[in-house]
Amino acid sequence: MSGHSPEEIRNIALTGAAGGGKTTLAEALLAAAGAIGAAGSVNKGSTVSDTGLQEQALQHSIAASVMGLAWGDAWINLIDTPGYVDFQGAALSILPAVETVAVVIDADGGVDATARRMMQWAGERGLCRLIIINRIDVAAARLEALLDDLRDTFGNECLPLDLPADGARQVVDCFFAPQGTADFSSVEAAHEQLVDQVVEVDEALMALYLEQGEALSPEQLHAPFEAALRDAHLVPVCFTSAATGAGIPELLEIFARLMPSPLEGNPPPFLRQDETGTHPYQARPDPEAHVLAHVVKVEHDPFLGKLAVFRMHQGTVSRDTRLLAGEARKPFRVGPLFRLQGWEHLEVERLGPGEIGALAKVEEASLDTVLHDSHDEDHIHLRPVAVPAPVFGLAIRARRHGDEQRLTEALSRLVEEDPGLRVEQDAATRETVLRGQGELHLRMALARLGERYRVEVDTRPPSIAYRETIRAPAEGHCRHKKQSGGAGQFGEVFLSVEPLPRGAGFEFADSIRGGAIPSSLLPAVEKGVRQAMEEGAIAGYPLQDLRVVVQDGKTHPVDSKEIAFVIAGRKAFLDAVHKAGLQVLEPLVELEVEGPGTAMGDLTADLAASRGRIQDTRTLGDQVSIQALVPLAEVADYPMRLNALTGGSGRYTLRFSHYEPAPEAVQQALVQAHREARQEA
C-alpha cells in the first residue's frame, strides 16, 4: 500500500473547549465520508477517538487522537484534541503535525477563553485557521449575534463560507455556488465579502475583478484563497450540527477543496544549528529528498511497546529504512509502519511528505525528536511548542517498599506521553513532586499509575521551599580542638558574612595573609560552611544570598586535619549568621489568572486576601486578565478557589518570580515548628 501524495493531503486539528462537540463532529465527518459505518456515541464510549477507559468514564478527550478519511481526491487527517484546560499540553504539542487549526465553538456557549487561546497560538505559529460553529440546531436564534461576536473578538477577516438555512436544519454555500436563502444575512453579500477579501492578496486578480467586473470562479480564487489563509488575511467560518448532520458534507468539501495541503501551508519552523548560530531551515515536501520527520506524540502500548507518532515533512520512510533520532550517532531500523485510526493501528508500506504515521518500539524517539536518515540533518530541530508550565503539584511516593524503581519508571513514561506533566526532585524538601495543569490532570495521571503500571502511591501537598538569609554583616569564630589519646584535631577559623542582593546565591572567598590557613585546607572550611547552609540556622531551610570571607585562622603542625577545619568552618559560620540576624524567605510566584469580567471583583478580593499584589489588569472582550505577585504558600488550593469563583471557566498560570522575607508571624510559626520537630527527633 503506497502513501498519499502531498497535494492530496489535508492535515486538520479540531480544537476548542470541552463540550463543544469536537469528538461528535469527528464521528459525523468519518461517517459521512464512509470511513466508518455509523457515527459512534460519546455517551456510549463507542467513538473512534475516545477509546481509553478514563476518556469513556469522563466522557471527554484527554489525549489527542489521529484518524483519517477520504473525500473526493483528498485524504484528510483529522486530529481530535482535548478541550479541558488541564489537558492543553496534549492539545498544543500535536499541532505542529497540521497545516490547519479548526477551532470548534459551541453555538450555545459562544466565544470562550479556550477558543481565544487556540486562535492566538495558531496565529503565532503561522498555521491557517478555520472556525467551526457547531451545535447550530441548539442555538439557532443567536447565530447571527455569535458571528458578530467572532468578528469583534478575532477581527473582520472572519467571514462565513456558508450560512445556516431553514431554521439551522441545513446550511447554504456562500463560496462555490452562492445561491439560496439563509436564516440571516445574504448569501450573495457573503460571497462578495469573501471575494473582496481574497483578491486583496493578488493585485492582478484584483485588477481583473475591479476593472472588468468579471465574476471569478472558485478555481481562479484558489491560489489567492490559500495565500489569504497563510497571511491570516482570512479566517473562514463554517456552521455545522454534528447531531443532525447539517453542514457536514459542506464542511468536508471545504476541507478537501479549500484547506491547504502540505505544499500550500506555511512551512514548518525548522531551525538548523551550526558553528555560526541558529538559522531557519526550509523543509521540502519532496518524496525523493532526505527523510525529515517530527515526533508529535509518544504512547506506550501494552502490545506494541513505545509508539512514536510522527509527521513526515520530506522524504519517504518504509520498513527497514535506517533512521537517526535527533543527534544520536547510531541509527535504528524501521519496523512496522502504521497509519492511525483512533485506537486502531493500520499497517502501511510507506509514508511520504505530509503524512502522519507511527513507529513501534522506537526507544530512541521522544516528543519533539526529529527523525532523519543522514547525519547532514543531525542539528535540525523544530521550534518547540510553548506548553504552559505545570502549576498544580503533589508530593508522591510509593506506598509499598520496593516499588520505588517501578514508580520512577512509570512516572518517566507518563511524562513522555503527556507534555503537560513534569516530575521534580526537590533537593531542599527531599520530595518527588508530580506537577500538572490542574487537579483533574493529576487525578487522571495517578489513575494511570494504578491501572496501567500497578503502582500504588501516597500523595500530599508538596512542601514549600522556604529559604533563610541574613539581615546584616557580622563576624564569627570557632576554635575546634579535640584530644583523645592519639592524634588530635585542631582548627581555628575567623570569618565574616555579609548579605548579597536577593537572588545572588552564595559566594565564598578568603582574605588570609601569611598562610594562617594553608590553601589546601580552605576547601574544608567551605565544605563546613556549605553543610551549615544546607541544614539552615533557625527554621531548617537552606541559606542563600550571602557572602562568606575567611579572614584568619590557626593550624597545628600535627593535629590540623581536613575534618577539623570542616567542623571549625561550620561552627564559625553559625556563630556569624546568628550575630547577623536571620530571617526566613518565602517564594513568590507571578500568577496570571483569566476569568469572566463579571468575576473580577471576586478574583481581586481573593488575591488580596492571599497576600497577593496586583500588578496589572486587562480586559479581553468579556474576559479579564489579572497579573499578581502571590506567595507560593497561598496558592496551594487556588485551582479549587478559582473554579468556585468563576464557575469552572477560569484558568491560570504560575511562574516563579523571586524570594522575599516572609511576614513575622509566618517566620515565627516556621521557627517554632522546626524547634518542635527537633525536640521530637
Element (H, E) at 573: helix 562-580
Element (H, E) at 23: helix 22-32
Q: Which of 142-146, 392-396, 446-450, 636-640 has the highest mean pLDDT?
A: 142-146
CB proximity list for 424: less than 8 A, separation 6 or greater: 393, 432, 433, 435
The 10s digit of each residue's pLDDT in 116-141 is 889 999 999 999 999 999 999 998 88
Question: Phi-psi category of 547—alpha, beta or left, where left has phi over 0 and alpha has psi -120 to 50?
Answer: beta
| H helix count then E strand count, the chain | 16, 35
Which three cell numbers mark 331? 541509527
For the cut 80, the answer to whether the pLDDT of residue 274 exceeds it is yes
CA distances from residue 513 to 229, 272, 475, 552 in whole angstroms, order as listed? 73, 53, 17, 8
The 10s digit of each residue's pLDDT in 293-313 is 999 999 888 778 889 999 999
C-alpha–C-alpha distance, residues 67 and 39, integer Å: 14
Q: What is the pLDDT of residue 295?
A: 95
In total, the chain counts a number of residues equal to 681
C-alpha–C-alpha distance, residues 323 and 294, integer Å: 12
Q: What is the pLDDT of residue 55?
A: 65
Tell me the pairing of strands 9-15 and 74-80. parallel
Q: What is the pLDDT of residue 134?
A: 96
CA distances from residue 282 to 271, 313, 377, 598 in whole angstroms, order as listed? 8, 10, 12, 47
Q: What is the pLDDT of residue 677?
A: 83
CB proximity list for 390: less than 8 A, separation 6 or greater: 420, 421, 422, 435, 436, 437
Phi, psi of 285 (to 5 degrees): -75, 60
Whether the CB-CB separation of 128 and 201 falls below 8 Å is answered with no
Q: What is the pLDDT of residue 376?
A: 87
C-alpha–C-alpha distance, residues 129 and 138, integer Å: 24
C-alpha–C-alpha distance, residues 73 and 115, integer Å: 31
State the average pLDDT over residues 417-428: 82
**% the chain with pLDDT above 90:** 63
* Average confidence score pLDDT of the chain: 90
Phi, psi of 324 (to 5 degrees): -115, 145
Q: What is the pLDDT of residue 140?
A: 86
Q: What is the pLDDT of residue 54?
A: 67
Q: What is the pTM of this model?
A: 0.78
For the cut 60, the answer to whether the pLDDT of residue 1 exceeds it is no
**What is the secondary structure of 383-397 as a DSSP string?**
PPP-PPPP-EEEEEE
* Amino acid at site 103: V
Tell me the pairing of strands 317-318 and 350-351. antiparallel
The 10s digit of each residue's pLDDT in 35-58 is 998 888 887 878 888 666 666 666
Check residues 487 and 559 and name the one with the higher pLDDT. Answer: 559
Element (H, E) at 426: strand 422-426
Listed in order, strand segments (DSSP E) in 39-127 are 65-71, 74-80, 100-106
* Amino acid at site 457: V
Which three cell numbers mark 347? 499497517
Helices 562-580, 522-535: axis angle to 10 degrees equals 50
The 10s digit of each residue's pLDDT in 179-229 is 999 999 999 999 999 999 999 998 888 888 887 666 788 999 999 999 999
Check residues 354 and 653 and name the one with the higher pLDDT. Answer: 354
- Closest by CA position to 251, among listed 30, 411, 466: 30
The 10s digit of each residue's pLDDT in 247-263 is 999 999 999 999 999 99
C-alpha–C-alpha distance, residues 145 and 122, integer Å: 24
- Closest by CA position to 166, among listed 178, 180, 182: 182
Whether the CB-CB separation of 145 and 164 falls below 8 Å is answered with no
Whether the CB-CB separation of 144 and 134 falls below 8 Å is answered with no
C-alpha–C-alpha distance, residues 184 and 163, integer Å: 8
**What is the secondary structure of 335-356 as a DSSP string?**
--EEEEETTEEEEESEE-TT-E
Q: What is the pLDDT of residue 427?
A: 63
- Closest by CA position to 297, among listed 448, 382, 390, 418: 418
List alpha helices for 458-550, DSSP H: 522-535
How buried is residue 246: exposed, middle or buried, by Cβ count under 10 Å (0-12/13-18/19+)?
Answer: buried
Q: What is the pLDDT of residue 235?
A: 97
C-alpha–C-alpha distance, residues 484 and 100, integer Å: 79
pLDDT class of 602 with cuts at 50, 70, 90: very high
Q: What is the pLDDT of residue 80?
A: 94
CB proximity list for 67: less than 8 A, separation 6 or greater: 26, 30, 35, 48, 49, 77, 78, 79, 80, 340, 341, 342
Sheet containing strand 392-398, strands side by side: 422-426, 431-436, 392-398, 457-460
CA distances from residue 495 to 260, 474, 501, 560, 577 in whole angstroms, order as listed? 70, 9, 20, 18, 11
For the cut 70, the answer to whether the pLDDT of residue 681 exceeds it is no
